[in-house]
C-alpha cells in the first residue's frame, strides 16, 4: 500500500555568504531559504528546500511560508509517489509560486524514493551515475575586481568560469577582456547577462565577445521580450541559453516553437521541482536542445536533488552548481560532495541521501 504524507514541518534558514553575490538584478549578502520536512505514516522522512529569489520568481521567505502552510494542508494524506497529482493540487490551489512548490516536490520525491528503496537518481529513471563538474561564478563589478576574482577561481582549481554581465557594451567587453588577460585563452567562460541588455545591445555585445572563447550566454534580454530571442540567437556567434524566460515545460515548449535558443537553464526553483524539470529535459531531448542544471542560492540539500536530476539525460551538458561553496556554514548532513576542479560526487544511499542539521533551522509551522 502506497504511503501517504502525514505531517509537514516548515523551517526558515539563514546563512551569511563569504562575499556578496552580485548580478545585474541586485546583490545578496546572505542565504534566506525555506526548508521542508515531510513524514509518512511509517516514520519515513523526506527533505526539501527552496531559495526564493525575489527578482526572478517573485517570492520571499515570508510568502513561501504563508503559501507553504496552505499547500501542506492540501497535501495531507496524499500518496507521496503521486507526483502528478501533487502538482495538480498545488497548481489548482495557487498560480506560480514555483519556489515553494519545488520544496514540496523535492521532499515528496525524497520520501517516495525511500519508499521504493531506491536512490533518487534511480527513482527518477536514470540508469547510472556520472561525476559532474561545476563552474564557479564571478560576480559583476569593475573589470579589475572581476579579473582578480577570476584569477583566484583558476588558482583554486576550477576548470570553467561563469561571469555575470549586464552593463553597457564598453563595460562588459572590458570585463571579459580583463578576465582573459589573467586566466588565458583556454579555460572556458560562460556569461550571464541576467536580462541586462536590449536586443540591439545583445547582438552588438555578443558579436564583440566572440573572440574570447565564450561557451554560451544566459538570458541576454528581458524575459518578457522572448519574441525577440530568435533574432538575437540568429545574429549571435555565441549560443544563447534561456534562463528567466524558461521556467516550466510550457515555457520550454514555447521557446522551442519560436526557435528562440540553443540551450535551456533548468532550475528547480523555477520549474516547481523535479517533476516539471523532467518534462523540460524530455522536450530538450526531442528537439536537440542542450541543458544546463543551475539554481539559486540553495544549500547542498536542494543541489543534491539537482545533481540526481542531472543523471537522467545526456542532454544535461553544463552544470552551474557552485553556490554552496559561497556559504560561511554548511547545514547539510550527507548530500553531494565537492572535490578538486569543481568535481561533484553524488552520495550513496536512498532518496536524496541528504538531510538538514536541525540546529541550523528555525521551525515556523507544523501542519
Residue span(s) of the chain under CATH 3.20.20.120 come to: 125-355
User: Taking the alpha carbons of 251, 257, 260, 264 in that order, is the dihedral positive or negative?
Assistant: positive
* Domain range 5-122+357-366, CATH class: alpha beta
Q: What's the CA gap between 214 and 324, in Å, rounded? A: 25
The yes-or-no verdict on residue 222 having pLDDT over 80 is: yes
Q: How far apart are the first and last CA of the chain?
A: 23
Residue span(s) of the chain under CATH 3.30.390.10 come to: 5-122+357-366
Residues 6+ apart with CB under 8 A from 1: none
Scan for cell 547539510, then name that residue: 332
Residues 6+ apart with CB under 8 A from 161: 135, 136, 137, 138, 150, 153, 154, 179, 183, 187, 188, 189, 190
Give the phi and the psi of residue 34 in degrees, each rounded to 5.
-115, 130
The CATH number of 125-355 is which of 3.30.70.600, 1.10.10.10, 2.60.120.260, 3.20.20.120?
Answer: 3.20.20.120
pLDDT tens string 75-133: 999 999 999 999 999 999 999 999 999 999 999 999 999 999 999 999 999 999 998 99
Rounded average pLDDT over 227-235: 98
Q: What is the pTM of this model?
A: 0.96
pLDDT tens string 165-211: 999 999 999 999 999 999 999 999 999 999 999 999 999 999 999 99
Q: What's the CA gap between 208 and 230, in Å, rounded? A: 19
3 state DSSP class of 63? helix
Q: Name the percent of the chain lying above pLDDT 70.
A: 100
pLDDT tens string 257-308: 999 999 999 999 999 999 999 999 999 999 999 999 999 999 999 999 999 9
The residues assigned a catalytic role are: 164, 192, 218, 243, 267
Amino acid at each position: 500500500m502506497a504511503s501517504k504524507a502525514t505531517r509537514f514541518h516548515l523551517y526558515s534558514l539563514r546563512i551569511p555568504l563569504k562575499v556578496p553575490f552580485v548580478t545585474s538584478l541586485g546583490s545578496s549578502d546572505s542565504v534566506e531559504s525555506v526548508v521542508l520536512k515531510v513524514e509518512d505514516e511509517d516514520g519515513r522522512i523526506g527533505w526539501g528546500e527552496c531559495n526564493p529569489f525575489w527578482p526572478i520568481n517573485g517570492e520571499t521567505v515570508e510568502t513561501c511560508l504563508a503559501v507553504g502552510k496552505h499547500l501542506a494542508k492540501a497535501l495531507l494524506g496524499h500518496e507521496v509517489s503521486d507526483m502528478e497529482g501533487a502538482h495538480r493540487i498545488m497548481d489548482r490551489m495557487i498560480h506560480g509560486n514555483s519556489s515553494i512548490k519545488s520544496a514540496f516536490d523535492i521532499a515528496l520525491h525524497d520520501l517516495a524514493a525511500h519508499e521504493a528503496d531506491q536512490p533518487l537518481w534511480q527513482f527518477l529513471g536514470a540508469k547510472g551515475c556520472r561525476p559532474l563538474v561545476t563552474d564557479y561564478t564571478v560576480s559583476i563589478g569593475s573589470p579589475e575586481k572581476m579579473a582578480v576574482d577570476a584569477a583566484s577561481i583558476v588558482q583554486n582549481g576550477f576548470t570553467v568560469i561563469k561571469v555575470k554581465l549586464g552593463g553597457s557594451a564598453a563595460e562588459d567587453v572590458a570585463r571579459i577582456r580583463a578576465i582573459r588577460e589573467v586566466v588565458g585563452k583556454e579555460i572556458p567562460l560562460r556569461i550571464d547577462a541576467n536580462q541586462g541588455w536590449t536586443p540591439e545591445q545583445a547582438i552588438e555585445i555578443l558579436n564583440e565577445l566572440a573572440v574570447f572563447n565564450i561557451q554560451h550566454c544566459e538570458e541576454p534580454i528581458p524575459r518578457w521580450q522572448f519574441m525577440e530571442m530568435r533574432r538575437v540567437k540568429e545574429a549571435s556567434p555565441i549560443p544563447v541559453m534561456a534562463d528567466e524566460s524558461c521556467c516550466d515545460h510550457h515555457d520550454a515548449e514555447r521557446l522551442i516553437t519560436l526557435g528562440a535558443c540553443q540551450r535551456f537553464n533548468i532550475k528547480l526553483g523555477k520549474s516547481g521541482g523535479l517533476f516539471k524539470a523532467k518534462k523540460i529535459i524530455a522536450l530538450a531531448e526531442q528537439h536537440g536542445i542542450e541543458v544546463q542544471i543551475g539554481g539559486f542560492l540553495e544549500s547542498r540539500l536542494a543541489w543534491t536533488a539537482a545533481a540526481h536530476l542531472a543523471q537522467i539525460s545526456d542532454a544535461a551538458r553544463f552544470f552551474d552548481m557552485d553556490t554552496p561553496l559561497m556559504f560561511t556554514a554548511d547545514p547539510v548532513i550527507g548530500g553531494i560532495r565537492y572535490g578538486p576542479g569543481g568535481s561533484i560526487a553524488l552520495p550513496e544511499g536512498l532518496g536524496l541521501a541528504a538531510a538538514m542539521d536541525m540546529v541550523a533551522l528555525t521551525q515556523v509551522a507544523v501542519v
